Amino acid sequence: MSDSPAEISGSGFPLTAPSSSQLQQLVEKLTPEQHHVTQKSGTEAPFCGGHLAEKSAGVYGCVVCRLPLFRSSDKFDSGTGWPSFFDTYDAQHVTRKSDASGGMVRTEITCGRCDAHLGHEFSDGPPPTGIRHCLNSLALHFWAEGEAIPLEIPLEIPREIPREIPREIPREIPREIPRAISDATDAPATPDADLAIAWFGGG
């Protein structure tokens, strides 16, 4: 930790950022996918994150430093394909930044202790806050109700394997592709899919 006085959140959690060596130790335990999302502001594909369908009672925290971020009681189905919450565990645990990537200005949300990228915040959520915190499952760790949440940064945590949503059975590929369809596949790709991810939230 740094030598500056420890900042404590309203819910009693230390918010002092990890030192560079401690952060490196934490980041080394991430999977490549978790590293891409939390350290490079990546975005997981919609409807693929393991925490999207999680219905158990508990708390969601930062996968890097284990700071609690959201409660299951504040989770809702936004229909966007990413875990969504209308309130935070503690307002001090989530930091907001302006994000002009993706061809639009959005509000990025990061961990209030280690600055890991979490997702984005939007003003189209349900009452009582009207806020939608759109999260990447890869940025989250889940504690089931009754499990102990550490106050300090646990430097000896094991590598976490992200949960996955079972894939649907792939569509059968026809033996022959009609010429008309084949011609269509030669057309250049458009950025519509990327824009949709940026607009609806993603990471």
Structure token pair of residue 171: 């569509």
Active-site option among 62, 65, 114, 134? 134
pLDDT (0 to 100) of residue 167: 46
pTM: 0.77
Q: What confidence tier does 160 reach under pLDDT thresholds 50, 70, 90?
A: low
Name the percent of the chain lying above pLDDT 70: 74
pLDDT for position 158 = 61
Model pLDDT, residue 103: 84
* Structure tokens that stand for 86 in this block: 């209308």
| Chain segment 33-76, per-residue pLDDT in tens | 999 999 999 999 999 999 999 999 999 999 999 999 999 999 99
| pLDDT digits 0-9 by tens, 16-32 | 999 999 999 999 999 99
What pLDDT does 79 receive?
95
Report CA-CA distances (Å) from 104 to 33, 40, 117, 195, 199.
25, 18, 18, 9, 8
Domain boundaries, the chain: 12-145+195-203
The reply to whether 111 belongs to the active site is no
Q: Which CATH number fits domain 12-145+195-203: 3.40.50.2300, 3.20.20.70, 2.60.40.10, 2.170.150.20?
A: 2.170.150.20
Rounded distance, CA 180 to CA 56, Å?
48
